Structure 1
Amino acid sequence: MLIVPEALIADLVSPEDAFAAVAATFAAMARGEAYNFPVVREALGEGRQYGFKSGLDRAGGMLGVKAGGYFPGNMARGITNHQSTVYLFDPESGRPTAMVGGNLLTALRTAAASALSIDRLARREARVLGVVGAGHQAGFQLRAAARVRDWDRVIAWNLHPEMLPKLGAVAEELGLPFEAVGLERMVEADAIITITSSPAASLMAAHVAPGAHLACMGTDTKGKQEVQVALVAKARLFTDEVAQSVSIGEAQHAVAAGLVAGADIVPLGAVLAGADAGRRSDEEITLFDGTGVGLQDLAVAAVAVTRARERGLGVEVSV
């Protein structure tokens, strides 16, 4: 088994690698060649979340699980709030083949999924990007969105506004004008990324203009909510995994209220495969419910393992 520690990941997997791996995962899911297993998520108290995401990709020959979660006290410890590790197995024998640091990989694959949704669902003339949230993953989201579209400017809101200058620095690095705004100003945005760990909705229907695309990337556990139910109900819904969207994703609350059903939600893979047209008009609000699937984690971890073996990096151990 090859151990690829977190410290090596940045030199092994690029954002472009993550984008390609996540796109291939969506395509394999759409073809029925890959599927995710039910997610296990547990609340540990004090905002801590721990769980397992796993799956099997027959086309890619990948079987594995990501173990980890969200630990909000970690910022004070000088480490990221999201902590995870990916374990890969031989799908034929079940023997472990790799253990891979999953923190950066999680940020990269989450941003890649968001960018894919923007690329395929946002209006072609979209020029203003909105970001709700300014935590660790927000910078990755902004950089990924900038790779798929040419934005004129970025507007952003965060519950703790003192965190916004760090995101502003990323925008400056990308050459994009940046402005911290109130949520009511999100109506100016053509595409909005939400990337928070909120237990209550912050983005309301009144904050979103007709024709906007939303990439809702923060809700991956029962009880989390970034977007008002009324906004979810009025949008055309897309997701990475329908089963997760209705149970632990942003759609869970609209489903519970009887406003949305699983049949109303389109897998993004169907759009990538050409089985669904995606956006149907310039006035339609589209919403991608990015719950984060285990297959994405396996795909980016597999890239890290391949690169590590090619370069003679990592630690090989007998199991």
Structure 2
Amino acid sequence: MLIIPEQLASQLVSVEDAIAAVGEVFAASYAGNAQSYPVVREQTGHANAVFGVKAGFDASLPVLGLKAGGYWPGNVKRGLGNHQSSVLLFDADTGRAIALVGANYLTGIRTGAASALATRSLASADSSILGIVGAGVQSIHQYRATRAVRPIAHVLAWDPNPDNLRRLRNLVEADGLRFDALSLERVARDADVLITVTPSSVPLIRREWIRPGVHINAMGADTTGKQELEVELVVAASVIVDDIQQAVSIGECQHAYACGLLKAEKLNLTLGGVVSGTQQRSATDDITIFDGTGIALQDLAVAALAYRRALEAGLGFACDF
């Protein structure tokens, strides 16, 4: 087995690498050559933590494996990231465990990569104003990934924590871009591309704030009960999903689905179909929403890339297992 620590993993895979790898695995999934298995995601009843396991198999590589981890909200007081994850890869031919990969950074960039793929496919090509709701660690990956696919010149952000806003401002201004911390309404009304990445369980973004043609990446809802957008906004938009079943059970679509305003049959626009060129948005003045719940194949794509590069460079720690 090869052990790839967190710091090494962050050196082996860039944001651009992640966008390419995640795009390939979504296309493979749409073609029927890759599959994510049912997600386990539960409240532990201890430390207010949420723990989950996501597993899958991509026959096109091939890569078989799982990611285990979740959210520990008290970690910040310990000097640790609230999100903690590890990926275990297996040899698809024998079932032997071949790699253990630190996946906190990889989870961040694979999430940003999916968002960027949706933005590249659905947002106006001249989108230059990025709105970010929630300026935690994931916002950094979202910002960098969006810049890789659109000519962003101005970033608007909202967060209840001024330290989060300060950190994001420093990064954006160091890149030579304009940054403004604004109200929720101003961020939503002024953005060309809007990204919501919070742990909220109440709607933050109202339908009336979003103008025609805006693209939204709703990335925060990945557990039962989470919500960032008004149901009316989800119903009014053209929605693209990473996984239909996850979208209606743990994603942003869960609330519109539960109250009968959104049918699963309507969710026929998928990220896999869009990145493979088979599907496209219906009209340029539609509001589009990507409901990004996060699937195992994203995790396996970036972890497998880190594993291959570590092998080629003779990096990591090998051990008998």
TM range (shorter): over 0.9
Matched, 1:34 2:37: no
Q: How does 1:1-319 map to 2 (within 5 A)?
A: 1-45=1-45, 47-185=48-186, 186-265=188-267, 266-278=269-281, 280-319=282-321
TM-score after normalising by structure 1 = 0.97
Structure 1 range deviating more: 100-109 or 241-250: 241-250
* Structure 2 CA distance for aligned equivalents of residues 157 and 7 of structure 1: 29
Q: CA deviation at 1:206?
A: 2.0
* Structure 1 CA distance for aligned equivalents of residues 162 and 118 of structure 2: 27
Deviation string, structure 1 residues 163-194 (Cα, Å, up to 9, x no partner)? 21111112112221010111111211111011
Deviation string, structure 1 residues 77-97 (Cα, Å, up to 9, x no partner)? 111111000001112221111
Taking only aligned residues, the RMSD between alpha carbons, in angstroms, comes to 1.2
Q: CA deviation at 1:162?
A: 4.1
Q: CA deviation at 1:261?
A: 1.6
TM-score after normalising by structure 2 = 0.96
Asked whether the 8 Å contact 2:117–2:275 carries over to 1, the reply is no
Asked whether the 8 Å contact 1:183–1:207 carries over to 2, the reply is no
**Structure 1 stretches lacking a partner, 5+ long:** none
* Structure 2 CA distance for aligned equivalents of residues 264 and 39 of structure 1: 22
* Structure 2 CA distance for aligned equivalents of residues 259 and 81 of structure 1: 34
**Structure 2 stretches lacking a partner, 5+ long:** none
Asked whether the 8 Å contact 1:184–1:206 carries over to 2, the reply is no
Q: CA deviation at 1:228?
A: 1.1
Asked whether the 8 Å contact 2:118–2:271 carries over to 1, the reply is yes
Asked whether the 8 Å contact 2:126–2:151 carries over to 1, the reply is no
Asked whether the 8 Å contact 2:224–2:251 carries over to 1, the reply is yes
Secondary structure of the structure 2 residue equivalent to 1:200: strand
Structure 1 range deviating more: 300-309 or 268-277: 268-277
Deviation string, structure 1 residues 24-54 (Cα, Å, up to 9, x no partner)? 1111011110010000001124642101011
Question: Which ranges of 4 or more aligned residues in structure 1 deviate by more than 6 Å?
Answer: none
Q: CA deviation at 1:113?
A: 0.7
Q: CA deviation at 1:133?
A: 0.3
* Structure 2 CA distance for aligned equivalents of residues 127 and 311 of structure 1: 38
